[in-house]
Amino acid sequence: MSAVFEQIFQVGFLAAIIRIATPLAFATLGEMFSERAGVLNLGIEGIMLLCAMAGFTAASLSGSLWLGVLVAVLVGALMGALHALFTVALGLSQHVCGIGVTLFSSGLAYFLYRLIFGQQSVPPSIDGFKPVPIPLLSDIPILGPAVFNQFTLVYLAIIAVPLAAFVLYRTPWGLSVRMVGENPRAADSAGVSVIATRFQAVILGGALMGLAGAFLTMAQFNAFTFGVVSGRGWVAIALVVFGRWDPWRSAGAALLFAFVDALQLRMQASGLGHIPYETFLMLPFIFTIVAMAFMSRNAVAPSALLKPFRREER
């Protein structure tokens, strides 16, 4: 076991945590914005998959990675708008519509991928993002190469966390988001449009989920496979609860999950061969369940989460 712990403090291990945490952070922030406005988005898993596919395809066909990212973000926003149409404008069940969005998006992703790339024995890949070392900062021992020699999307995620906190806590729009998630009637009587605010928050959330998907196929794996998201969307939903609907805590939750995930990868590789590798694969999820069991006791969800808003009618 000591070999395992030696590896924890290696540069490669820290870098792996950051890399694993990045798509989770985007996805978690996206889900958080949506839920803060009172809309649970269970479409996240499918939206991430569709965006991963769309971004990969756009990048692969155009040769421009950033165009791929843009397409992924736009597709994410569009799917967010679709979810908002059902749940906010029409006031339908958020659970049912979210599952519907996931099934629809996943199916669409498989279908379009086959349509565009056909059946190939080796999945096509692209030349993905390369790490961009930040001058000076990347020279800091251990931390430098781990944190400041990463993909641009990683830096974007690092900036996204304080930015999300600023938007949520310091801007009138962020206050409106929190208000419509807590007491939409109060927001309405103060002249804030509940419908518009919720739409905006769910669309922003979808766009962030798009970034998460784009990272998977354009930085992490450089290829699209049907299992590329493999539950990261569902994990993000748990991490939002774990992070108590707060950007900083949510990012912390993503890092913690990434730590356990990186740890199990090392354990798989570190000569504990007599244990089936699936055991290690389970670890992050067991960790999530246990953490949730403890944390969700004190978690207080936005009061109006899951509740559609309709003006009082007699």
Partner 1 sequence: MSAPLIEMRGITKSFGAVKANEAVDLSVAPGEILGLLGENGAGKTTLMNVLFGAYAPDAGDILVEGRPVAIHNSADALAAGIGMVHQHFHLAPRLTVLENLLIGIPGKSGRIDRARGLARLTEISRQYGLSLDPNLPVSALSVGEQQRLEIIKALFRGAKLLILDEPTAVLAPSEVDGLFAALRSMAAQGLGIIFISHKLNEVRALTHRCVVLRHGKVAGRVDHPASTTSAEMAKLMCGHEIVPPVREASTPGASVLTLDGISTSGHAGTPLRDVSLFVRAGEILGIAGVSGNGQRALADVISGMLQPRAGTMTIAGKTVTQFSPRELQALGLGRIPEDRMTTGLVTNLPLADSMVLPRIGTEAFSRKGLLNPTAIRAFAEAQIKAYDIRCPGPMVRAGALSGGNLQKALLARELAFDPKVLIVSQPTRGLDIGAARFIHEKFLAMRARGCGIIVIGEDLEELLMLSDRIAVMYEGRIAGTLPSADATVARLGLMMTGAGHTEEAA
Residues 295-314 that bind partner 1 (CB under 8 A): 300, 302-303, 312, 314
DSSP code for 218: I
Among the listed residues 7, 110, 156, 182, the single contact to partner 1 using CB under 8 A:
182
Q: Does residue 1 belong to the site contacting partner 1 (CB under 8 A)?
A: no
Q: Kindly tell me which of 186 and 289 has the beta carbon lying closer to partner 1.
A: 186
Q: In angstroms, what is the minimal distance from the CB of 49 to partner 1?
A: 33
Structure tokens at 296: 């969700």
Q: Kindly tell me which of 3 and 186 has the beta carbon lying closer to partner 1.
A: 186
Q: Kindly tell me which of 145 and 308 has the beta carbon lying closer to partner 1.
A: 308
Structure tokens at 278: 């699936």
Among the listed residues 78, 123, 185, 246, the single contact to partner 1 using CB under 8 A:
185
Q: Kindly tell me which of 274 and 297 has the beta carbon lying closer to partner 1.
A: 297
DSSP code for 5: H
Among the listed residues 7, 138, 152, 183, the single contact to partner 1 using CB under 8 A:
183
Cβ neighbors of 91 (< 8 A, separation 6 or more) are: 308, 309, 310
Q: What is the CA radius of gyration of the chain?
A: 20
| Three-class secondary structure of residue 261 per DSSP | helix
Q: Does residue 171 belong to the site contacting partner 1 (CB under 8 A)?
A: yes
Q: Does residue 172 belong to the site contacting partner 1 (CB under 8 A)?
A: yes
- How crowded is residue 312: how many other Cβ atoms within 10 Å of its Cβ? 6
Which span (68-76, 127-135, 176-184, 215-223) binds partner 1, by CB under 8 A?
Answer: 176-184
Q: Does residue 170 belong to the site contacting partner 1 (CB under 8 A)?
A: yes
Residues 186-225 that bind partner 1 (CB under 8 A): 186-192
Q: Does residue 176 belong to the site contacting partner 1 (CB under 8 A)?
A: yes
Q: Kindly tell me which of 111 and 166 has the beta carbon lying closer to partner 1.
A: 166
What is the C-alpha to C-alpha distance for residues 200 and 184, in angstroms, rounded to an integer?
15
Q: Does residue 244 belong to the site contacting partner 1 (CB under 8 A)?
A: no
Q: Does residue 278 belong to the site contacting partner 1 (CB under 8 A)?
A: no
What are the distances in angstroms from CA 97 to CA 85, 92, 154? Answer: 10, 7, 31
Torsion 218-219-225-228 (CA) sign: negative
Q: In angstroms, what is the minimal distance from the CB of 314 to partner 1?
A: 6
Among the listed residues 99, 175, 255, 305, the single contact to partner 1 using CB under 8 A:
175
Q: In angstroms, what is the minimal distance from the CB of 302 to partner 1?
A: 8
Yes or no: say if 52 and 224 are a contact pair by the CB < 8 Å rule. Answer: yes
Q: Does residue 230 belong to the site contacting partner 1 (CB under 8 A)?
A: no
Yes or no: say if 216 and 52 are a contact pair by the CB < 8 Å rule. Answer: yes
What are the distances in angstroms from CA 58 to CA 92, 296, 304? Answer: 33, 40, 38
Max Cα separation, the chain? 69
Considering CB under 8 A, how many residues would be counted as binding partner 1?
23
What is the C-alpha to C-alpha distance for residues 63 and 92, in angstroms, rounded to an integer?
40
* Interacting residues toward partner 1 by CB under 8 A: 170-172, 174-176, 178-179, 182-183, 185-192, 300, 302-303, 312, 314
